[in-house]
């Protein structure tokens, strides 16, 4: 049923695909296929581009047989193929399935033996059954009977407690054989593999997890606006509510959500709901509320500083979307900077984890009229920030100041 040492081709060697490649290399011959040639070259030189994966991790994986390749011909004799390519939103904020489609077309064109095809990319319920399988089957020259399964990645970058090994993995196949195979594969390196009855359950669970976060973050962001008007601390109030030992889960207010999961995944759920004729009011409202946070912060700062930012120098600290992570995708700092500029400010940004962004370099810390802490990276903890400005607005709850959410 399952070959102990298979050739596994992992399509996409980004955050998800590379982490999986490192793990799977311990038991299988892994080829990391990616269309980005320079990324492939660097991986083969054991140079990692992913936070949390060291060059040493890559050297070990290489010694176990891992290699990266930009040649789709590697799929010819693959016994298992994992899809881990991006699933962003298009300009209309609808699912952009083009990367998954392109991966499927490679599989259809190059796979020559029946393989287990597993999707790890986040997507809407029905993706494996109604999108991946038909594209592969309708485009292959020979009629190969692949098995299909899903195993959504749930990893949280920068989370020191929960990782690929100890986060329970949801799996399901389109048939019993695929389910058994996918379960065996992930059981080799995941402490808990949870089989669910259909790929749609696993796909929907993944989307609901991130929708739950998106909606609760929006709720607490709205609450922060209320506590501000009440003249009480949102953080003290949340800590007080959190003393209730049941029925409450604390979320932190913030500048908004970023990365390519929380602001994106709920729209995949909304997309499928819309197709089914179900309105997703919470998702739409949460998107709207979180997207409005940077404008709210810019206006708070403007009002604190006398109603205009004209000619004032403002530095945004920590522009990545999350503390201690370098990722700037969908970062709410982008909207914040643009709003501050609209209000007349001269804006610079400083982030030791993000050297270049939007064709600008991280500016050195220097005296300014105002500092806005968007992300409180560990690196800032020991910096005497009040030396650089007498006005500091904190969006993180980690810096003692009178000006915060």
Ligand X SMILES: NC(=O)c1ccc[n+]([C@@H]2O[C@H](COP(=O)([O-])OP(=O)(O)OC[C@H]3O[C@@H](n4cnc5c(N)ncnc54)[C@H](O)[C@@H]3O)[C@@H](O)[C@H]2O)c1
Site for ligand X in 78-97 (CB under 6 A): 84-87
Determine, following the binding rule CB under 6 A, whether residue 158 of this chain makes contact with ligand X: no
Determine, following the binding rule CB under 6 A, whether residue 11 of this chain makes contact with ligand X: yes
Determine, following the binding rule CB under 6 A, whether residue 131 of this chain makes contact with ligand X: no
- Considering only 31, 78, 261, 286, the residue that binds ligand X (CB under 6 A) is 261
> What residues pair up with 10 in beta bridges, in sequence order?
32, 82
Determine, following the binding rule CB under 6 A, whether residue 9 of this chain makes contact with ligand X: no
For ligand X, the closer of residues 76 and 299 by Cβ is 76
As measured in angstroms, the least distance from the Cβ of 370 to ligand X is 32
Pick the stretch among 119-127, 233-241, 354-362, 379-387 that binds ligand X (CB under 6 A): 119-127
Determine, following the binding rule CB under 6 A, whether residue 52 of this chain makes contact with ligand X: no
* Alpha carbon distance 7, 276 (integer Å): 39
For ligand X, the closer of residues 48 and 237 by Cβ is 48
* Alpha carbon distance 126, 79 (integer Å): 23
Residue span 23-42 as binding mask against ligand X, x where in contact by CB under 6 A, dash where not: ----------xxxx--x---
Determine, following the binding rule CB under 6 A, whether residue 169 of this chain makes contact with ligand X: no
As measured in angstroms, the least distance from the Cβ of 99 to ligand X is 4
Determine, following the binding rule CB under 6 A, whether residue 53 of this chain makes contact with ligand X: no
Q: Which residue is nearest to ligand X (CB)?
A: 14
Pick the catalytic residue: 104, 111, 190, 261? Answer: 261
* Alpha carbon distance 275, 267 (integer Å): 12
As measured in angstroms, the least distance from the Cβ of 168 to ligand X is 14
Pick the stretch among 153-161, 221-229, 317-325, 388-396 that binds ligand X (CB under 6 A): 153-161
Is residue 111 annotated as part of the catalytic site, yes or no?
no
Site for ligand X in 178-217 (CB under 6 A): none
**Cβ-proximal residues to 377 (8 Å cutoff; 6+ apart), any chain:** 318, 320, 323, 324, 351, 352, 353
Determine, following the binding rule CB under 6 A, whether residue 14 of this chain makes contact with ligand X: yes
Q: Residue written as tokens 């695929």?
A: 178
Determine, following the binding rule CB under 6 A, whether residue 117 of this chain makes contact with ligand X: no
As measured in angstroms, the least distance from the Cβ of 222 to ligand X is 26
Determine, following the binding rule CB under 6 A, whether residue 227 of this chain makes contact with ligand X: no
**Cβ-proximal residues to 37 (8 Å cutoff; 6+ apart), any chain:** 70
Pick the stretch among 148-156, 291-299, 331-339, 378-386 that binds ligand X (CB under 6 A): 148-156
As measured in angstroms, the least distance from the Cβ of 14 to ligand X is 2
- Considering only 121, 214, 289, 396, the residue that binds ligand X (CB under 6 A) is 121
Pick the stretch among 13-21, 271-279, 351-359, 384-392 that binds ligand X (CB under 6 A): 13-21
Nearest to 30 by CA among 65, 3, 59: 65
Whether the CB-CB separation of 223 and 248 falls below 8 Å is answered with no
Pick the stretch among 56-64, 152-160, 274-282, 369-377 that binds ligand X (CB under 6 A): 152-160
> What positions carry a catalytic annotation?
261
Residues in the site for ligand X, rule: CB under 6 A? 11-17, 33-36, 39, 84-87, 99, 102-103, 120-122, 153-155, 157, 260-261
């Amino acid at each position: 049923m399952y070959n102990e040492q298979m050739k596994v081709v992992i399509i996409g060697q980004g955050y998800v695909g590379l982490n999986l490649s490192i793990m799977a290399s311990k038991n299988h011959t892994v080829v990391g296929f990616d269309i980005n040639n320079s990324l492939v070259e660097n991986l083969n030189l054991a140079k990692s581009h992913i936070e949390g994966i060291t060059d040493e991790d890559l050297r070990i994986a290489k010694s176990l047989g891992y290699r990266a390749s930009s040649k789709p011909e590697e799929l010819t004799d693959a016994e298992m193929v994992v899809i881990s390519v991006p699933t962003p939103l298009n300009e209309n904020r609808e699912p952009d399935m083009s990367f998954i489609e392109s991966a499927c077309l490679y599989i259809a064109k190059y796979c020559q033996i029946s393989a287990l095809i597993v999707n790890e990319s986040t997507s809407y319920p029905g993706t494996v059954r109604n999108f991946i399988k038909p594209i592969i089957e309708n485009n292959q020259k020979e009629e190969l009977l692949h098995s299909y399964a899903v195993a959504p990645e749930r990893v949280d970058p920068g989370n020191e407690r929960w990782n690929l090994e100890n986060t329970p993995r949801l799996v399901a196949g389109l048939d019993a054989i695929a389910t058994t195979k996918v379960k065996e594969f992930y059981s080799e390196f995941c402490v808990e593999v949870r089989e669910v009855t259909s790929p749609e359950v696993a796909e929907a669970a993944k989307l609901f997890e991130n929708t739950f976060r998106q909606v609760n973050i929006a709720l607490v962001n709205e609450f922060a606006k209320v506590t501000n008007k009440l003249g009480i601390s949102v953080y003290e109030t949340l800590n007080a509510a959190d003393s209730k030992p049941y029925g409450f889960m604390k979320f932190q207010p913030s500048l908004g959500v970023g990365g390519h999961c929380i602001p994106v995944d709920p729209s995949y759920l909304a997309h499928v709901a819309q197709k089914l004729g179900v309105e997703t009011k919470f998702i739409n409202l949460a998107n709207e509320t979180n997207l409005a946070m940077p404008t709210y912060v810019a206006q708070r700062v403007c009002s604190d500083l006398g109603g205009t930012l004209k000619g004032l120098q403002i530095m945004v600290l920590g522009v990545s979307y999350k503390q201690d992570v370098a990722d700037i995708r969908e970062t709410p700092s982008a909207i914040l900077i643009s709003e501050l500029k609209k209000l007349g400010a001269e804006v610079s940004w400083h982030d030791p984890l993000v050297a270049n962004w939007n064709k600008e370099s991280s500016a050195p810390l220097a005296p300014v009229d105002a500092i806005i802490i968007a992300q409180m990276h560990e690196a800032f903890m020991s910096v005497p920030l009040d030396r650089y400005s007498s006005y500091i607005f904190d969006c993180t709850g980690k810096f003692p100041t009178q000006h915060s959410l």
